[in-house]
Amino acid sequence: MTALPGPTVTVDHAQLRSATAGFLAALGVPGPRAQLAAEALVYGDLTGMDSHGVFNLGRLYHPLLASGRAGPAAEPRVLNDLGACVLMDHRRALGLWAAAQSMDLAVARARAHGIGLVSVRGATHLGCAGFHAARAAEAGLLGLVASNCGGQRIASPPGGLPALLGTNPLSVAAPALPGRPFVLDMSTTVVPTGRVRVAAAAGRPVPAGWLADRNGETVTDPAAFDQGKARLRWLGGDPTTGAHKGFGLGLTVELLAALLSGAAVGPAPEALEGDGRPHGTDDDIGLLLLAIDPDLLRAEPGAFAEASRSLFGTVLDCPPLEDGRPVRYPGWPEAERAAERRAHGVPLPRALHHELTALGLELPALEAHR
């Protein structure tokens, strides 16, 4: 979770979604597309992944659409269709929408073949990978989503100078307890850059373990990242605590999402010129959207769902440590937060609320209407 800093204004989630859809539609995104894209974006705010919610509307998606780096009405094209596997070019369509559509295609193919794989080049930023993976879980299937960051390089290999890879998100989702799917949704670096920038904006230090200088020493000043004085660590920390596992996961995402589909890759020869700071742009992103239908595979309808409820129920029943905090599985905290925010509204930092209303979004404060 990324809590955005400062005093907040609480807004209704449905209002936030429709205002976001209206904003995207005014930029030329066709109505139903704008609705689905807004749902994908506001998923970040509902679930508490605030660094990937409407925080990115003015900062990322507006410039993407206004500059033509994303095509509001671009039509993705199928390049090869083998039934269970499809290769697509998203042709710069808005990733928030197009990734969801491609996962729906993967689900349809999995229902027919047991497995559905959609490999994508030419994509733009998909937002929270978990939103798209969870669509498979909602349909009773397993879903996997991997996205590279196109030609944007943010993180350096352990022991290497130039940045070669993005924060390369990975998500796996499956049905678990009712209304509480398993949704592992994460960057393969220890955090995405958004969380470092949120801390920098708040003027608060980041936990030891997020950033390191070139000698591997801990850095807790988040401003050091954009000053080029600190680098994002991979999951696992440093080489002695498992950084090569996180780095390997980052490369795995690059392989599955971009090398397979023919999208731009981070580790291209020109990347070797980098001085350790982030460089390149996140155009021509590659995606992998995979769905597996367990009922079709096992030919025992309901058996997987029952086993999954048992597995995740056992995890929830795990006795806690002395602090008494219950054990949860990935996806649970986000589902709980979404239920709370659906009922009581989404808190937006005042500065973000101001920024969004200046962009023309109508977002009345919820308290004013109670």
Ligand X SMILES: NC(=O)c1ccc[n+]([C@@H]2O[C@H](COP(=O)([O-])OP(=O)(O)OC[C@H]3O[C@@H](n4cnc5c(N)ncnc54)[C@H](O)[C@@H]3O)[C@@H](O)[C@H]2O)c1
Nearer to ligand X, 109 or 187 (CB): 187
Among 34, 42, 128, 263, binds ligand X (CB under 6 A): 128
Q: Is 149 in the site for ligand X (CB under 6 A)?
A: yes
Q: 152 near 282, Cβ under 8 Å?
A: yes
CA-to-CA separations, 193 to 169, 188, 368, in angstroms, rounded? 12, 11, 34
Nearer to ligand X, 119 or 147 (CB): 147
Nearer to ligand X, 84 or 315 (CB): 315
- If one counts every other C-beta atom within 10 angstroms of the C-beta of residue 211, the result is 25
Among 124, 329, 346, 353, binds ligand X (CB under 6 A): 329
Nearer to ligand X, 33 or 125 (CB): 125
- Which residues contact residue 295 at a Cβ distance below 8 angstroms, ignoring those fewer than 6 apart? 140, 301, 302, 303, 304
Question: Which SS3 state, helix, strand or coil, does residue 237 take?
Answer: strand
Nearer to ligand X, 17 or 132 (CB): 132
Q: Is 328 in the site for ligand X (CB under 6 A)?
A: yes
Question: Looking at this protein, which amino acid is placed at residue 149?
Answer: C
Q: 152 near 141, Cβ under 8 Å?
A: no
Q: Which of residues 55-94 bind ligand X (CB under 6 A)?
A: none
Q: Is 186 in the site for ligand X (CB under 6 A)?
A: yes
Candidates 3-11, 64-72, 177-185, 286-294; binding stretch for ligand X (CB under 6 A): 177-185
Q: 88 near 119, Cβ under 8 Å?
A: yes
Candidates 20-28, 203-211, 325-333, 339-347; binding stretch for ligand X (CB under 6 A): 325-333
- If one counts every other C-beta atom within 10 angstroms of the C-beta of residue 299, the result is 8
- If one counts every other C-beta atom within 10 angstroms of the C-beta of residue 277, the result is 16
Nearer to ligand X, 114 or 308 (CB): 308
Where on the chain is the footprint of ligand X (CB under 6 A)?
Answer: 1, 49, 52, 125-130, 147, 149, 167, 169, 171, 183-187, 191-192, 195, 328-334
